[in-house]
Amino acid sequence: MGIDQHIDQTRLPKHVSVIMDGNGRWAKQRGKLRTFGHNKGVKAVRETVECAAEMGIEYLTLYAFSTENWNRPQVEVNALMTLLVKTINKETKTLMDNDIRLNAIGNLNSLPKSCFKELNEAIEKTKDNTRMTLTLALSYSSKWELIEAVKTIAKNVKDGELNPDAIDESVIDQHLCTLGIPDPELLIRTSGEQRISNFLLWQIAYSELYFTDKLWPDFDRKDFEAAIIDYQGRERRFGKISEQVSA
């Protein structure tokens, strides 16, 4: 399927990040268990990944499980972890066929062993793919990431390896899990919630935010394209005035 003609291929965001939200409500509306919604959400992941890659997006980051999500009922956490293993296993071939590199950010050591193993195998297998980098945020939260960064930076200062006066934006960037990935120009959140939920706080300092009422399992390539079109209609001023930007 071709890309929507309203999309200007020369002005694509390099990096799009997505807070995939609304699986539970989608299932509830149908009188089903929340896990039914998570299972259905996999199709939306596949469609979004394929659409982004076809379009020419270089980096796609999906928020799949937050640090705070560990506090959900144990059955739901278990179901999500099982789904994760199953999906990564099943989709690795599609990633290879589409030349997509898999990456993960978050406290990956906190994942069950089977998840950790499956994830690392897929990351290793896809590491030479170059069309798009797909990053899954798993057991991720921005405050966790920033605490880890601050700890490392503090140790470097203590060991005399870093002068505190030399700490600038790039030093912070280098200590985040997103090292080497440009900041997202666009952040999409589904399900009508208008909050960030501890996702990429530093990296989205200047991102365009796009909220849609669509629940994640209903999100499809048309919705992804609509978000890109909306993004392309915005003026990004970075503190300047409109006349400076258009000049």
Applying CB under 5 A, the residues found at the interface with Mg ion are 21
> What residue is closest to ligand IPE based on CB?
24
Question: Contact with ligand IPE (CB under 6 A): which of 12, 16, 20, 228?
Answer: 20
165 is an active site residue: no
Q: Which is nearer to ligand IPE, 12 or 227 (CB)?
A: 227
Active site residue 223: no
Which CB atom, from 12 or from 188, has the smaller least distance to ligand IPE? 188
Measured from the CB atom, is 13 or 217 closer to ligand IPE?
217
63 near ligand IPE, judged by CB under 6 A: yes
Sheet arrangement for strand 132-140: 100-105, 132-140, 59-66, 15-19, 186-189, 208-211
Is residue 122 within 8 Å of residue 102, measured between CB atoms? Answer: yes
Residue 75, amino acid: V
Q: How far apart are CA 50 and CA 43, in angstroms?
A: 11
User: Counting contacts by CB under 6 A, is residue 135 touching ligand IPE?
Assistant: no
Instruction: Tell me the DSSP string of 115-169.
Output: HHHHHHHHHHHTTT--SEEEEEEEEE-HHHHHHHHHHHHHHHHHTTSS-GGG--H
- Residue 76 CB: number of other CB atoms within 10 A? 15
Taking CB atoms, the residue at the shortest distance from Mg ion is 21
21 or 208: CB nearest Mg ion: 21
Binding of ligand IPE by 23 (CB under 6 A): yes
How is residue 80 written in tokens? 């999500």
**Residues contributing to the site for ligand IPE (CB under 6 A):** 19-25, 63-66, 68-69, 80, 191, 193, 195, 197, 216
